[in-house]
Amino acid sequence: MRIAALDDDTLQLELFTHALTDMGHVCRTYTTGAALLKDLRRETFDLLIVDWHLPDTTGPEIVGWVREHIGADLPILFVTNRQEERDIVQGLACGADDFMAKPVRVGELSARVGALLRRAYPAATNHVLEFGPYRFLPETRTLEMNGAPVELKTREYELALFLFQNMGRLLSRDHLREIIWGQSAEVISRSLDTHISRLRTLLDLRPANGYMITAVYGVGYRFEAVKPPEDEPAAGATLP
């Protein structure tokens, strides 16, 4: 998962980075609210960790902005020195999903982050996943469309599965590249576009089949379910 951590203490951010990386996540760190908000306008994350006291704003103000402009689905964890009952109440009331007091204990951080991610996103599974005419078989890493196998390369399969599991979410280009190719991989932008284009063609992603990928200028892509037009048959359908 891709996580953003906001704290004006660089040592605290180093702790977050090490702990989250050990959990298998990608962590982006920020020391000011302005820097985080700038990236949130063009980047996407799976979870936010937010401090309360910041040089240029407050944690509740950041959470309020996120809820107004991004929505209620993005999990947010407060990690702060404030730990009175009224602080916890205010933090949760402004839109955060969980509250953790400093000093940070790595085991507790891992547990809280894991719990938030499990609630917010479908867990990885080896069971067959079906979405309309599309059928994912994770054990063999294969995909069928209308019962017929679709020949996909490894990263094409991973990208297709990630898009279906994150249906309706706006995903930034960097988010997709990091999830599919890894944080350290040097991937040119055109490679992602090529993979998206191939999936559109190979999976026949169009309204008639109930799904489509939309490019969002300056940000990335959104994969979503749509209602098929009544006068357009789905792939594999037989006209009367």
**H-run or E-run covering 55:** none
Cβ-Cβ contacts under 8 Å for 193 (sequence gap 6 or more): none
Q: Among the CATH numbers 1.10.8.60, 3.40.50.2300, 3.40.1410.10, 1.10.10.10, which is that of 129-225?
A: 1.10.10.10
For the residues 57-82, what does the mean pLDDT come to? 95
pLDDT tens profile 202-219:
999 988 888 999 999 989
Token couple for 194: 């090529």
pLDDT tens profile 146-178:
999 999 999 999 999 999 999 999 999 999 988
Q: Tell me if the domain spanning 2-120 has CATH number 3.40.190.10.
A: no
Of the CA atoms within 13 Å of residue 183, those in its CB half-sphere come to 10
pLDDT tens profile 9-31:
999 999 999 999 999 999 999 99
* Higher pLDDT among residues 235 and 50, named by residue: 50
Question: pLDDT at position 127, please?
Answer: 79
Of the CA atoms within 13 Å of residue 53, those in its CB half-sphere come to 8
pLDDT tens profile 89-143:
999 999 999 999 999 999 999 999 999 998 988 655 567 889 988 999 988 999 9
Question: pLDDT at position 145, please?
Answer: 94
Q: What angle do CA 15, 20, 23 make, to 5 degrees?
A: 135
Question: pLDDT at position 232, please?
Answer: 56
* Cα 99 to Cα 192: distance, rounded to the nearest angstrom: 36
Question: pLDDT at position 236, please?
Answer: 53
Q: In the chain, where are the structural domains located? A: 2-120, 129-225
* Cα 181 to Cα 112: distance, rounded to the nearest angstrom: 27
Please state the pTM of the whole predicted model. Answer: 0.81
Token couple for 68: 């107004």
Residue 222 has pLDDT above 90, yes or no: yes
